[in-house]
Chain A
Amino acid sequence: MIEVGQISGSLRKRLIITLIGGGAVLAVLIYLIVRTYATQIAQQGQDSILGASVTSILDAANLRKGDIEIDFPYASFSMLKTASDDRIFYAIYQDDKFLSGYERLAKMNPKTGTGSTFGNTIFKGANVRLASASRTLVGEGLRTELSITVAQTRDSLNGTLNRIGQNVALFGAGFFLLVIILAFWATSAAIAPLARLTSSITRRGPHDLSPVISPVPREMAPLVFSLNKLMGRLDQSLTRSEDFIAEAAHRVRTPLATVRSYAEAMLQRVEKEENRRAMRSMIRAVDESSRAAGQLLDHAMITFRVDNLDRRTVNLSELVTDLVIRLTPIAEMRDVQIKLEAGEAIQVSADVILIQNAIRNLIDNALKYAPQESVVDIVIVANPRPEISIKDEGTGFPNEEMHILANRFERGSNSESITGSGLGLTIAQDVAEAHGGRLSLSNQVKGGACVTFSF
């Protein structure tokens, strides 16, 4: 099981929430600003019409024999027509004397000559907007100030504002929706390199400790840098330990060879059966140790090589024929005959040294576990995929152990009197897997083991 480590929060969630939250705040802000602005413009629209109405009434005023006469045009009121049928009110004052219109309509303290002043008030139970303006009239020996107030209810304005409000709200909602979409898009775009890095590391082979070289965004560079450093150190320590094993095996083998040759010589000279037995088991122990050291060395070499396969085009039949020739002396010592069945040249792309090593171990097993005067069959086929099968006439693999025999240092119950280290099948399997193939063990129906090395 792989530890995930503690998870606290999610970058994606945090990013999305920040972006969407920001978008929401922006949308509300846009809504408020546009609404306020639209209200101002709509209000200005009403004000300008009210102002024009006031002005048109003021302009129609004149003094006739000391009396004020205001023959204001029809347009003064018709211009105030709205779609919502707003009510209108007006008042005409001379100095502070009420002349005409609606008496209680508030007057906005107009200042002469400064144009219209505007305000809101409640008149006859309705909210009204009002405009006021005044004008000084000068006649014979008379100076009087005329002030006009025109008011209008705000139904049409409110209708317009509601419509604008709705549209702006719709716009804000649309904007917000867009922000949400953008937030998801931006987040996944920002997270993508992280996901890419993760998948490129996950996809690696088990022994690939090479540094990450594909380009990453600046923010991820420190992470990748640390990662690469960590992998470098790991790689180094792995290589070092393999080197160490190889060195150790080598150093053990040489003195063992010396010990063995002395023991052999000694065995010739010892007479006593008891001592001879001791000498023989000593020689066997030395053989076993030597074999183990050799296999360890091979295994270390293989472990190292599978990370950087030296692939070349290899003719399988040639390679196996070569091996058989080299192993023939050993086979002859046991009166075992090796039969090789190979068709035309079968080409594969593989690391020669590894394949040789693997197949040698398999043939070695066949020779070792098969009885004397038997036959070992080696068959090479090209289809459906290149395959080498080695069959012997021995007892075969112990059935219940078959599935663990390829594990490291695992030996079968049938191997008690036979020298070995339990690494042969491990090596063959590692090599097969490094080439994208597999090693399968089985027993033949007529008896005897069958090992198939496939690419």
Chain B
Amino acid sequence: MRYIFILIFSLFSPPVLGQGWEDQRLFSNGTSSQTLRILSNTDTRFFAPIIESFLATQPSLSIDYLVTGSADLYDIFRTSPAEFDVVISSAMDLQFKLANDGYALPLNDIVHPNWAQWRKSLFAFSTEPAAIVINRNAFKGILTPKSRQDLIEALRARPETFKDKIGTYDVRQSGLGYFFATQDARSSETYWRLTEVFGSLNARLYCCSGDMIDDLISGRIAVAYNVLGSYALGRTDAQSEIKVILPSNFPTTMMRSALVSRETRFPTAARAFIQHITDIQADGEKAAAFPLPPLDQTAKPLISLGPELMTYLDILKRRTFIQEWESAIIQ
């Protein structure tokens, strides 16, 4: 019997099984009959407490938590939507496109603020700004930059210090990096000047925020641009080495979002999971007990869930943007 299951499983999901996950963890109490497969780009340590609190109320469930980068996540899910039950990502644009293209199951009875959901199928549950994170040592004796403008000036003033010491996303690889970059570019010309400065300083490009923060802590780089503040703050062990700065003029803020696959095998359990996350995250007090930043209910987000998120996903727009970005950063 078991062999047949494995056989069927391997027949239907060779690409997924072949996937090298960034991280994979099975949350289970051993007696469970259903296993929810959650595809996420969020580090397991941010989600583990939420999943555990959820499983405490649902003893018959177990959860397979699979982590990969946001761009990969998008591709994997599109090729095999039946393999996953819940999709969580910080790349709002890609999540939006999944929902727009009909990959999400509408959940009509989820209670959630209107501005934080789209078509009852995509649910935003955290508000997280992109931050400039600096290595305290590298900025010793220099005024800490408060804005992008400050950063440009600080870098220009000491090119020899910051040469090869800047880190930012490789927007060609990282969905979230591309999202932050395009939103930055849309809001202000400063982005392009900053990128040119990065280029002139031979900035290092990262696929993922984890590596970037590691390098920052180790002192390999002095500045990490557009890293999620929550990720940097999550490294509690290294707070004496690094400092998180939210640019004062226009912080680019993203909302992490979740959707249930239209082809989920366990719609009820998946729905309950979404309700669980949104319940916690929309309530500041409850969310305080969990590592993820809550959904900011005080201010309407600058980047909302809407069709305009698809603008920069257009192949032609993307080509133009990447060209421009490459010519600025690779010099």
Contacts A85-B119, A87-B102 given; does A100 touch B316 at CB 8 Å: yes
Nearest opposing residue in chain B for A83, CB measure? B114
In the complex, the chain B residue whose C-beta lies closest to that of A76 is B311
Q: Which of A94-110 touch B at CB < 8 Å?
A: 99-101
Q: Is B78 an interface residue (CB 8 A)?
A: no
B311 touches A72 (CB 8 A): yes
Q: Which residues of B contact A68 (CB under 8 A)?
A: 316
Any A CB within 8 A of the CB of B189: no
Query: In the complex, A125 Cα to B308 Cα: how many Å?
Result: 22
Q: Which of B102, B305, B315 contacts A126 (CB 8 A)?
A: B102
B102 pairs with A72, CB closer than 8 A = no
Query: CB within 8 A of B306: which of A69, A70, A78, A125?
Result: A78
Centre residue among B100, B316, B317 by max chain A CB count within 10 A: B316
| Chain A residues near B309 (CB-CB < 8 A) | 77
Q: Is the C-beta of B118 less than 8 angstroms from some C-beta in chain A? A: yes
A89 contacts across to B, CB distance below 8 A: 100
A101 near B314 with CB under 8 A, answer yes
Tell me the smallest distance from the CB of B43 to a CB of chain A, in Å: 30
> Which one, A70, A75, A77, A81, contacts B316 given CB within 8 A?
A70
Report A-chain residues with C-beta under 8 Å of the C-beta of B311: 72-74, 76-78
Q: Which residues from B are CB-within-8-Å of A324?
A: none
B149 to chain A, nearest CB (A): 23
B159 part of interface (Cβ distance < 8 Å): no
| Residue on A nearest B183 in the bound complex, by CB | A74
The answer to whether B308 and A74 have CB atoms under 8 Å apart is yes
Contacts of A340 in B (CB 8 A): none
Instruction: Write the chain B residue with the least CB distance to A70.
Output: B316
- For A122-134 the 0/1 string (1 means CB < 8 A from B) is 0011100000000
| Contact mask for chain A residues 371-391; partner B; CB cutoff 8 A; 1 contact, 0 none | 000000000000000000000
- Does residue A247 face the partner (Cβ distance < 8 Å to B)? no
Confirm or deny: B113 has a beta carbon within 8 angstroms of a beta carbon on chain A.
no
A80 to chain B, nearest CB (A): 5
**Residue from B100, B101, B186 whose CB has the most chain A CB atoms within 10 Å:** B100
Is A27 an interface residue, CB under 8 A from the partner? Answer: no
B274-318 vs A, CB cutoff 8 Å, 1 = contact: the mask equals 000000000000000000000000000000011111110011110
- Chain B neighbourhood of A80, CB < 8 A: 307
How many chain B residues touch A (Cβ–Cβ < 8 Å)? Answer: 18
Q: Contact at B119–A99, with CB atoms within 8 Å?
A: no
Are A72 and B307 closer than 8 Å at their CB atoms?
Answer: no
The distance in angstroms between the C-alpha atoms of A76 and B186, with both chains bound, is 14
Contacts of B119 in A (CB 8 A): 84-85, 87
A71 touching B317 in the complex, CB below 8 Å, given contacts A124-B101, A126-B102: yes
- Residues on B with C-beta less than 8 A from A331 are none
B144 CB contacts on chain A under 8 angstroms: none
Residue pair B317, A70 in contact (C-beta under 8 Å): yes
Q: Is the CB of A72 within 8 A of B100?
A: no
Q: Whole-angstrom distance between the alpha carbons of A149 and B295 in the complex?
A: 36
Bound: A324/B181 CA distance, A:
134
Chain A: minimal CB distance from B2 (Å): 37
Is residue B320 contacting chain A, with contact meaning CB distance below 8 A?
A: yes
Assuming the A-B contacts A77-B311, A85-B118, A87-B100, are A72 and B306 also in contact, with contact meaning beta carbons closer than 8 angstroms in the complex? no
Q: List residues 114-146 of chain B with CB under 8 A from any CB of chain A.
A: 118-119
B314 — which chain A residues lie within 8 A by C-beta? 70, 72, 92, 100-101
CB-based nearest A residue for B308:
A78
| A72 lies within 8 A of B315 (CB) | no
**Are the C-beta atoms of A77 and B101 separated by less than 8 Å?**
no
- Residues on B with C-beta less than 8 A from A99 are 315-316
Q: Which residues of A contact B101 (CB under 8 A)?
A: 87, 124
CB distance from B189 to the nearest CB of A (A): 15
Contact pattern, B 315-331, Cβ under 8 Å of A = 1, otherwise 0: 11100100000000000
The verdict on A69 contacting B307 (CB below 8 Å), with A74-B186, A125-B102 known, is no
Find the A residue at minimum CB distance from B306: A81
Give B137 Cβ to nearest chain A Cβ, in Å.
Answer: 39
A residues near B320, Cβ cutoff 8 Å: 69-71
Instruction: Give Cα distance in the complex from A100 to B101, angstroms.
Output: 15
Q: How far is B314's CA from A68's CA once the two chains are assembled, in angstroms?
A: 13
Query: In the complex, which residues of chain A have a beta carbon less than 8 angstroms from the beta carbon of B316?
Result: 68-71, 92, 99-100
Within 8 Å by CB of A124, from B102, B307, B310, B315, lies B102
Please, how many angstroms separate the alpha-carbon atoms of A190 and B320 in the complex? 80
Any B CB within 8 A of the CB of A88: yes
Most-contacted residue by chain B among A73, A75, A85 (CB, 10 A): A85
Are A88 and B307 within 8 A (Cβ)?
yes
Write the chain B residue with the least CB distance to A61.
Answer: B316
Q: Give the nearest-CB partner of A57 in chain B.
A: B314
Q: Give the residues in chain B near A124, CB-CB below 8 Å.
A: 101-102
Query: Least Cβ distance of B74 to chain A in Å?
Result: 16
* A-B pairs with beta carbons under 8 Å apart, 30 shown: A68-B316, A69-B320, A70-B314, A71-B316, A71-B317, A72-B317, A74-B186, A77-B310, A77-B311, A78-B307, A78-B308, A80-B307, A81-B306, A81-B308, A84-B119, A85-B305, A85-B306, A86-B307, A87-B101, A87-B119, A88-B307, A88-B310, A89-B100, A92-B314, A100-B314, A100-B315, A100-B316, A101-B314, A101-B315, A125-B102
Given contacts A72-B314, A88-B100, 15 further A-B contacts (CB under 8 A): A69-B316, A71-B317, A72-B311, A72-B317, A74-B186, A74-B308, A74-B311, A77-B310, A77-B311, A78-B306, A85-B119, A88-B310, A100-B314, A100-B316, A126-B102
Measured CB to CB, the residues of B under 8 A from A are: 100-102, 118-119, 186, 305-311, 314-317, 320
Q: Which residues of A contact B (CB under 8 A)?
A: 68-78, 80-81, 84-89, 92, 99-101, 124-126
Closest 3 CB pairs of A and B: A78-B308, A100-B315, A85-B119
